[in-house]
Amino acid sequence: MRLFRCELPEALDEAALDRAEVLVHLAYMTRFTDRDAARRVNDLGTRLVIERSRARGVNRFLFLSSQSAHEEAQSYYGRSKLELEKLFSLDRDVVIRSGLVLAKEGDGLFHRMCHMVRTSRVIPLFGGGRQPIQTIHVDDLCAGITSAIEKGLAGVFSLSEPGSLTMRELLEAIASRLGRKSFFVPFPMGPALLALRLIEGLGIPFPVSSENLLGMKCLRATDTRPDLERLGITARDAQRSLDYALGAEGAATQSAS
């Protein structure tokens, strides 16, 4: 195995690109306090990767985007992903708009949600927790990426379970598997955004950010069945994916209690 230096947007070891046929771009800074720094890493970094890769003869790209990327997006994350999608040539490149990835390990939104459930008895349901959310098992996401490359596909693919559940249902399912007796309290979205921006302005650490709320506010369900069929894969539903991601931990937690 060879290691190459990549510190976006300043440095990229171009030797890593030699003889590459397809570049899979998954890197993205999601946790930050300085939005300008995030833009440099995400926006300028992605442009650097594309520019250097094309100069080295890489002809195809696969970019991991998000179902948060759409024209009505209000969060930086959703708007940024949508803008970055436009850098790719959809007649030869692949953009995958992923649902919420459920995996055993990681530090993404799902794991932050689990941390909140573990450490808090009272769980706020912003906007009543009615937002639709679609999930994707990490192995199904990897299968979709592999299939798109091996089949030589191009274009935009939405990749998640075909159905959806509400944010409240997802948090309740997490709490159940972790053996937590949580109290769910509805909280209006508007006042919550104001409160979080005040907390952020004071520099107080908090598990949920205003960015998270803006993304949550614009969640919408997508019919992913046509794209799953094109990729030739199936996507497990949230309940099965949660059993995988939290099953062993949840069983241990309930045994200890």
Helix (H) or strand (E) holding 133, with range, is: strand 132-133
In this predicted structure, the answer to whether residue 212 has a pLDDT above a threshold of 50 is yes
How far is residue 113's CA from residue 107's CA, in Å, rounded to a whole number? Answer: 10
52 alpha carbon, distance to own chain's centre = 25
- Give pLDDT tens digits for 89-109: 999 999 999 999 999 998 888
Q: How many CB atoms lie within 10 A of CB 7?
A: 10
How far is residue 44's CA from residue 60's CA, in Å, rounded to a whole number? Answer: 19
Q: Is 14 or 205 the better-scoring residue by pLDDT? A: 14
- Give pLDDT tens digits for 131-148: 999 999 999 999 999 999
CATH fold of the domain at 59-256 = Rossmann fold (3.40.50)
pLDDT given for residue 106 in this prediction: 86
pLDDT band at 160 (very low <50, low <70, confident <90, very high): very high
Backbone angles phi, psi at 18, to 5 degrees: -60, 130
Helix (H) or strand (E) holding 110, with range, is: helix 109-119
Taking residues 97-123, report their average pLDDT.
92
9 preceded by cis ω (within 30°)? Answer: yes
How far is residue 28's CA from residue 210's CA, in Å, rounded to a whole number? Answer: 18
Handedness of CA 166, 65, 215, 171 (dihedral sign): positive
Which two tokens mark 154?
Answer: 């191009």
Q: How many CB atoms lie within 10 A of CB 97?
A: 23
Region at 191 (left for phi over 0; alpha for psi -120 to 50; beta for the rest): alpha
Cβ neighbours for 180, distance < 8 A, ≥ 6 positions apart:
117, 118, 121, 253
- Residue 171, amino acid: L
pLDDT given for residue 200 in this prediction: 84
Q: Beta 100-102 vs 122-126: how paired, if at all?
A: unpaired
